[in-house]
């Protein structure tokens, strides 16, 4: 079984759900721009305006001590509230499907699919604390678990990005830091960095060619196990 398979699925699923509104804020202003409360209000408005999302994705995992960097490219489709299709092209060659209840991680070459119950498996649970922003009691959870600040702005290709930092208050959290780049005008994160092991491992996710509210059939988010493919349930 491959390492980081379900972890990556949950990371991306967490990110698209993190497009829902944030609640904990500090009165920090970005030079020449908006304060954090204003940025989060814009994110909230942008989130309520879309139900589906399609994008190209670039995922990079960097391990600084080993001077190792692995990059994967693919395509992502998301439908509120909890459906995700994520396909990575070779050499990773992997398909991830979240149907709202289960996470399926399919490796065509190995003829094997891993099945995880979204809210019960240990690995999927690692992302639950922050993939649930904007749902039910998640506001209270965010206040208890994260310190959210605005670090400032960054200019790139003529666009302004607000950098939002989420610092877990629990030292045993899966990620030591979560950082989002929110594009002004678009008001949804287009780049995310998730830090592990106090920054020794950095997961970078970039979304490109984002298209919102395009028609997406529910069939996209149903995984039918191909004939001859082994189903593995690691936590059973």
pLDDT tens across the length of the chain (236 residues) = 454 555 566 566 665 555 543 433 444 445 557 998 888 778 777 877 888 999 999 999 999 888 899 999 999 999 988 888 999 999 899 999 989 899 899 999 999 999 988 765 444 333 333 333 332 333 345 556 778 889 999 998 899 999 988 888 888 877 888 888 989 998 888 898 989 888 899 989 999 999 999 999 999 999 999 999 999 998 77
Q: What is the pLDDT of residue 100?
A: 87
Rounded-to-integer distance, Cα 161 and Cα 181, Å? 6
Q: What is the pLDDT of residue 49?
A: 83
Q: What is the pLDDT of residue 160?
A: 93
Is residue 119 within 8 A of residue 128, CB to CB? The reply is yes
Could you tell me whether strands 112-117 and 230-232 are parallel, antiparallel, or unpaired per DSSP bridges? Answer: parallel
Which domains, and CATH codes, for the chain?
A: 5-232 (2.50.20.10)
Residue count of the chain:
236
Rounded-to-integer distance, Cα 119 and Cα 117, Å? 6
For the CA atoms of 8, 178, 152, 185, the dihedral, rounded to the nearest 10 degrees, stands at: 40
Which structure tokens are listed for 103? 């996470």
What is the SS3 assignment for 93?
coil
Q: What is the pLDDT of residue 11?
A: 61
1: which DSSP letter? -
What is the SS3 assignment for 114?
strand
180 backbone dihedrals φ, ψ, rounded to 5°: -120, 140
What is the SS3 assignment for 169?
coil
Is residue 58 within 8 A of residue 72, CB to CB? The reply is yes
Distances from the Cα of 99 to the Cαs of 6, 121, 162, 180, 221, in angstroms? 14, 15, 32, 25, 5
7 backbone dihedrals φ, ψ, rounded to 5°: -60, -45
Q: What is the pLDDT of residue 175?
A: 82
**Cβ neighbours of residue 48 under 8 Å, at least 6 residues apart?**
none
Taking the CA atoms of 42, 48, 52 and 58 in sequence, report the sign of the dihedral they define: positive
């Amino acid at each position: 079984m491959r390492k980081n398979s379900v972890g990556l699925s949950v990371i991306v699923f967490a990110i698209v759900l993190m497009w829902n509104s944030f609640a904990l804020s500090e009165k920090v202003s970005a030079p020449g721009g908006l304060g954090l409360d204003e940025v989060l209000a814009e994110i909230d408005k942008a989130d309520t305006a879309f139900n589906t999302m399609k994008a190209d994705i670039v995922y990079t995992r960097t391990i600084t001590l080993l001077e190792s960097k692995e990059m994967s490219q693919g395509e992502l489709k998301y439908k509120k509230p909890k459906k995700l299709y994520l396909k990575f092209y070779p050499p990773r060659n992997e398909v991830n499907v979240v149907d709202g209840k289960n996470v399926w991680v399919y490796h065509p070459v190995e003829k094997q699919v891993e099945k995880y119950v979204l809210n019960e498996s240990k690995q999927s649970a690692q992302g639950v604390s922050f993939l649930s922003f904007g749902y039910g009691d998640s506001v209270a959870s965010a206040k208890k678990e994260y310190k959210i600040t605005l670090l400032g702005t960054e200019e790139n290709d003529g666009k302004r990005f607000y950098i939002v930092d989420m610092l877990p208050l629990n030292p045993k959290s899966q990620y030591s830091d979560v950082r989002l780049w929110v594009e002004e005008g678009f008001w949804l994160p287009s780049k995310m960095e998730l830090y592990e092991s106090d920054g020794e491992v950095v997961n970078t996710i970039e979304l490109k060619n984002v298209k919102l509210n395009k028609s997406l059939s529910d069939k996209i988010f149903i995984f039918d196990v191909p004939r001859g493919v082994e189903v593995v349930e690691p936590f059973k």
